[in-house]
Amino acid sequence: MPILDIEQNYERLDKIFFNSGVGIFIVDKNRNILECNETFCRIFGYEYNEIIGKSARVVHVSEKKYLHFAEIGFNKVRKNQALYLNYEFRHKSGKTIWLRISGDSITSKKEVLWIVVDITEQVLVEKKLKESKLKIKRLNKTLNCEVENQLRVIRQQDEQLQYQSRLVQMGEMLNMIAHQWRQPLSAISATTSFLSASLMLDSFKKDEFLGEIGKIEEYAKHLSNTIDDFRNFFKPTKAKETTTLEELSNMAINMVKAILYTHKIKIYTNYKCDKPIMTYKNEVAQVILNLIKNSQDALLERKIENPIIEITTCRDKDFFCLGIKDNAGGVNEEIIDKIFDLYFSTKNDKNGTGLGLYMSRIIIEDHCKGKLEVQNLKDGALFTIKLPK
């Protein structure tokens, strides 16, 4: 090759080496830096004269890292094995920088040529991303724990509310039982008085006496059946049962009819559904009972003449519907949106707990996946239970 061509090739290689956009440097077998380009100097922060002839130790983070790199990199390249890895080095200022480094052995001179690219920003971004993911993971774990804690609190509150509701129901149940028992107890009392008088006067007839005893037995049986009816009515059902809105309505009416009769409240039914549904039978019946009791309380509190409660059933496209309407004048429009809220009560006698309508809504909407709605009509309020078909 002509001398001119050799000089031209050398000039080209010189330009490639010193003007390359990547850092290039050459070390001898003892890992002393023999040559480097401008990009290498800029990456590490050294002037050319500061770095030439120095041990490569100056660009490593520590002695340990220097020796470690010899094992995984320098010795590997000197054996003509490929190397391409990301590794941490030390800038002149002392800060850590990350480089992507590859090397080739110059066998004839027992030297190694290294090419480095600064990837510090990329590594830092990836590190921040990893830290963010860890933070998110920890945050999610914390949130999950918090959600579990809140759910535990809600469950405890729900159990407490159910307990309070049960206490209220027990009080109402005793009141209803008292009204159911009043008539048969009065009849038993009257019958025993008649029998006692007959014995005292020694004027009784055996057949008549036995007939009166039979009546007492019937009254006692009625009292016993009343207890069974109430116990079964207030027993929570764990599984859905097949029933009808009419059956549920009649169950509730039977519980409260004695009280309504005592207070001269007329109750009418207009049934137009009569289709079987699967639902929590006793719970829904208790909601109906609670709505009837609310109507009763409103009628008595406002001293309505000719008090009336009307129960209707029907069906539309998506729901089986049961409505309970009274003529007590309706709900104040200013509070009608709040009456299903917990502990909100409209009763003036201060005996209201604010649990009845709240628990009714929970049963219908959360347990039965239905709807419980209220609206004012001309002369009273209409509560509507909607159960999905």
Looking up residue 368, the CATH number of its domain turns out to be 3.30.565.10
In b/e form, how buried is each residue of 321-334, taking b as 16+ CB within 10 angstroms? bbbbbbbbebbeee
Do 158 and 225 sit in the same domain of this protein? Answer: yes
Do 115 and 18 sit in the same domain of this protein? Answer: yes
- CA 80 to chain CA centroid, Å, is 62
Residue finishing a domain among 173, 208, 235:
235
pLDDT higher than 70, residue 293 = yes
Instruction: Give pLDDT, residue 165.
Output: 60
Instruction: Give pLDDT, residue 4.
Output: 45
Dist. CA 44–CA 23, nearest whole Å: 9
Has residue 136 been placed in a domain?
no
Has residue 134 been placed in a domain?
no
Has residue 206 been placed in a domain?
yes
Do 263 and 198 sit in the same domain of this protein? Answer: no
Which residues, listed in sequence order, are joined to residue 389 by a DSSP beta bridge?
none
Contacts of 254 (CB under 8 A, 6+ apart): 229
Do 208 and 113 sit in the same domain of this protein? Answer: no
Contacts of 170 (CB under 8 A, 6+ apart): none
pLDDT higher than 80, residue 356 = no
Question: What is the number of structural domains in the chain?
Answer: 3
Instruction: Give pLDDT, residue 124.
Output: 87
CATH number at residue 13: 3.30.450.20
For the beta carbon of residue 59, count every other beta carbon within 10 angstroms: 25
Residue finishing a domain among 210, 235, 260:
235
Do 193 and 203 sit in the same domain of this protein? Answer: yes
Instruction: Give pLDDT, residue 85.
Output: 87
Task: For 64-117, write each residue's pLDDT tens digit.
Answer: 999 999 888 888 888 888 788 899 999 999 999 999 998 888 877 788 888 899
pLDDT higher than 50, residue 221 = yes
The reported pTM is: 0.50
Instruction: Give pLDDT, residue 43.
Output: 92
Instruction: Give pLDDT, residue 269.
Output: 94
Do 309 and 345 sit in the same domain of this protein? Answer: yes
The angle at the Cα of 241, spanning 383 to 389, to the nearest 5 degrees, equals 55
Has residue 137 been placed in a domain?
no
Do 248 and 381 sit in the same domain of this protein? Answer: yes
Domain that holds residue 12: 3-123
Do 230 and 241 sit in the same domain of this protein? Answer: no
Has residue 17 been placed in a domain?
yes
Has residue 144 been placed in a domain?
no
Do 256 and 373 sit in the same domain of this protein? Answer: yes
Has residue 219 been placed in a domain?
yes
Q: Which of 8-17, 51-60, 179-188 has the lowest mean pLDDT?
A: 8-17
Residue finishing a domain among 70, 88, 123:
123
Instruction: Give pLDDT, residue 168.
Output: 60
Do 253 and 383 sit in the same domain of this protein? Answer: yes
Do 203 and 160 sit in the same domain of this protein? Answer: yes
Do 325 and 216 sit in the same domain of this protein? Answer: no
Q: Which amino acid belongs to residue 319?
A: F
Instruction: Give pLDDT, residue 347.
Output: 57
Instruction: Give pLDDT, residue 241.
Output: 87
CATH number at residue 229: 1.10.287
The 3-class SS string of the chain reads CCHHHHHHHHHHHHHHHHHCCCEEEEECCCCEEEEECHHHHHHHCCCHHHHCCCEHHHHCCCHHHHHHHHHHHHHHHHCCCCCEEEEEEECCCCCEEEEEEEEEEEHHHCEEEEEEEECHHHHHHHHHHHHHHHHHHHHHHHHHHHHHHHHHHHHHHHHHHHHHHHHHHHHHHHHHHHHHHHHHHHHHHHHHHHHHHHHHHCCCCHHHHHHHHHHHHHHHHHHHHHHHHHHHHCCCCCCCEEECHHHHHHHHHHHHHHHHHHCCCEEEEEECCCCCEEECHHHHHHHHHHHHHHHHHHHHHCCCCCCEEEEEEEECCCEEEEEEEECCCCCCCCCCCCCCCCCCCCCCCCCCCCCHHHHHHHHHHHHCCCEEEEEECCCCEEEEEEEEC
Give the chain's mean pLDDT.
81
Has residue 141 been placed in a domain?
no
Share of the chain above pLDDT 90, in %: 30
Contacts of 187 (CB under 8 A, 6+ apart): 215, 219
